[in-house]
Protein backbone atom coordinates (compact mmCIF):
# COMPACT_ATOMS: atom_id res chain seq x y z
CA UNK A 1 0.00 0.00 0.00
CA UNK A 2 2.84 2.37 0.78
CA UNK A 3 4.20 1.99 -2.76
CA UNK A 4 0.86 3.02 -4.25
CA UNK A 5 0.62 6.06 -1.97
CA UNK A 6 4.18 7.10 -2.81
CA UNK A 7 3.46 6.62 -6.51
CA UNK A 8 0.40 8.86 -6.20
CA UNK A 9 2.38 11.63 -4.52
CA UNK A 10 5.10 11.29 -7.16
CA UNK A 11 2.48 11.46 -9.92
CA UNK A 12 1.00 14.61 -8.36
CA UNK A 13 4.38 16.34 -8.35
CA UNK A 14 5.29 15.19 -11.87
CA UNK A 15 1.96 16.34 -13.34
CA UNK A 16 2.32 19.65 -11.52
CA UNK A 17 5.83 20.11 -12.89
CA UNK A 18 4.71 19.34 -16.44
CA UNK A 19 1.69 21.63 -16.17
CA UNK A 20 3.82 24.39 -14.70
CA UNK A 21 6.40 24.13 -17.46
CA UNK A 22 3.75 24.03 -20.18
CA UNK A 23 1.29 26.65 -18.94
CA UNK A 24 2.83 28.62 -16.10
CA UNK A 25 2.75 28.83 -12.34
CA UNK A 26 -1.04 28.98 -12.00
CA UNK A 27 -1.48 25.73 -13.92
CA UNK A 28 1.34 24.07 -12.01
CA UNK A 29 -0.14 24.99 -8.64
CA UNK A 30 -3.62 23.97 -9.77
CA UNK A 31 -2.29 20.59 -10.91
CA UNK A 32 -0.40 20.14 -7.64
CA UNK A 33 -3.49 20.94 -5.61
CA UNK A 34 -5.62 18.64 -7.76
CA UNK A 35 -3.17 15.78 -7.36
CA UNK A 36 -2.89 16.31 -3.62
CA UNK A 37 -6.69 16.38 -3.30
CA UNK A 38 -6.55 12.74 -4.41
CA UNK A 39 -3.26 11.58 -2.87
CA UNK A 40 -3.76 12.86 0.68
CA UNK A 41 -7.16 11.18 1.28
CA UNK A 42 -5.80 7.94 -0.19
CA UNK A 43 -2.82 8.11 2.17
CA UNK A 44 -5.14 8.63 5.15
CA UNK A 45 -7.28 5.69 3.99
CA UNK A 46 -4.25 3.42 3.56
CA UNK A 47 -2.92 4.38 7.00
CA UNK A 48 -6.28 3.74 8.64
CA UNK A 49 -6.63 0.39 6.87
CA UNK A 50 -3.14 -0.75 7.79
CA UNK A 51 -3.68 0.20 11.44
CA UNK A 52 -6.98 -1.70 11.43
CA UNK A 53 -5.34 -4.75 9.86
CA UNK A 54 -2.80 -4.96 12.69
CA UNK A 55 -5.49 -5.41 15.32
CA UNK A 56 -6.09 -8.93 16.58
CA UNK A 57 -8.52 -10.57 14.18
CA UNK A 58 -7.66 -8.17 11.38
CA UNK A 59 -9.68 -5.32 9.96
CA UNK A 60 -13.43 -5.61 10.16
CA UNK A 61 -15.69 -4.38 7.34
CA UNK A 62 -16.60 -1.25 9.31
CA UNK A 63 -12.95 -0.16 9.23
CA UNK A 64 -13.05 -0.24 5.46
CA UNK A 65 -16.46 1.46 5.30
CA UNK A 66 -15.45 4.23 7.70
CA UNK A 67 -12.13 4.68 5.91
CA UNK A 68 -13.82 5.00 2.53
CA UNK A 69 -16.34 7.49 3.91
CA UNK A 70 -13.51 9.51 5.45
CA UNK A 71 -11.60 9.43 2.16
CA UNK A 72 -14.55 10.80 0.20
CA UNK A 73 -15.33 13.46 2.81
CA UNK A 74 -11.68 14.55 2.96
CA UNK A 75 -11.48 14.72 -0.84
CA UNK A 76 -14.53 16.99 -0.98
CA UNK A 77 -13.21 19.14 1.88
CA UNK A 78 -9.80 19.55 0.23
CA UNK A 79 -11.39 20.45 -3.11
CA UNK A 80 -13.62 23.01 -1.38
CA UNK A 81 -10.59 24.45 0.41
CA UNK A 82 -8.66 24.80 -2.84
CA UNK A 83 -11.58 26.52 -4.56
CA UNK A 84 -12.10 28.83 -1.59
CA UNK A 85 -8.48 29.69 -0.82
CA UNK A 86 -6.87 29.67 -4.28
CA UNK A 87 -8.84 31.95 -6.58
CA UNK A 88 -6.66 31.41 -9.66
CA UNK A 89 -7.54 27.73 -10.21
CA UNK A 90 -6.90 26.39 -13.69
CA UNK A 91 -9.69 23.82 -13.83
CA UNK A 92 -8.25 21.75 -16.66
CA UNK A 93 -4.92 21.29 -14.87
CA UNK A 94 -6.69 20.65 -11.55
CA UNK A 95 -8.98 17.94 -12.93
CA UNK A 96 -6.37 16.30 -15.16
CA UNK A 97 -3.98 15.99 -12.23
CA UNK A 98 -6.74 14.61 -10.02
CA UNK A 99 -7.61 11.95 -12.60
CA UNK A 100 -3.97 11.05 -13.30
CA UNK A 101 -3.25 10.56 -9.60
CA UNK A 102 -6.50 8.65 -9.09
CA UNK A 103 -5.59 6.21 -11.86
CA UNK A 104 -1.84 6.05 -11.24
CA UNK A 105 -2.07 2.77 -9.31
CA UNK A 106 -2.62 1.06 -12.67
CA UNK A 107 1.09 1.58 -13.30
CA UNK A 108 1.95 -0.74 -10.42
CA UNK A 109 -0.72 -3.24 -11.38
CA UNK A 110 0.59 -3.54 -14.94
CA UNK A 111 4.19 -3.56 -13.76
CA UNK A 112 3.60 -6.66 -11.63
CA UNK A 113 1.93 -8.51 -14.48
CA UNK A 114 4.86 -8.06 -16.87
Does residue 49 sit in helix, strand or coil?
helix
Domain residue extents for the chain: 2-113
Residue 32 pLDDT: 97
Which pLDDT value is given to residue 72? 96
Which residues, at least 6 apart from 91, have a Cβ–Cβ distance to it below 8 Å?
Answer: 30
pLDDT at 112: 58
Residues with Cβ within 8 Å of 44's Cβ and at least 6 positions away in sequence, in order, are: 67, 70, 71, 74
**pTM of this prediction?**
0.86
Q: Which regions of the chain are under pLDDT 70? A: 58-59, 111-114
Amino acid sequence: MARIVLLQFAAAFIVALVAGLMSGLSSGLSALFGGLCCAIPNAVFALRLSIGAKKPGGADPMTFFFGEFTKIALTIALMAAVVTLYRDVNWLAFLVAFIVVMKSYFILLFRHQL
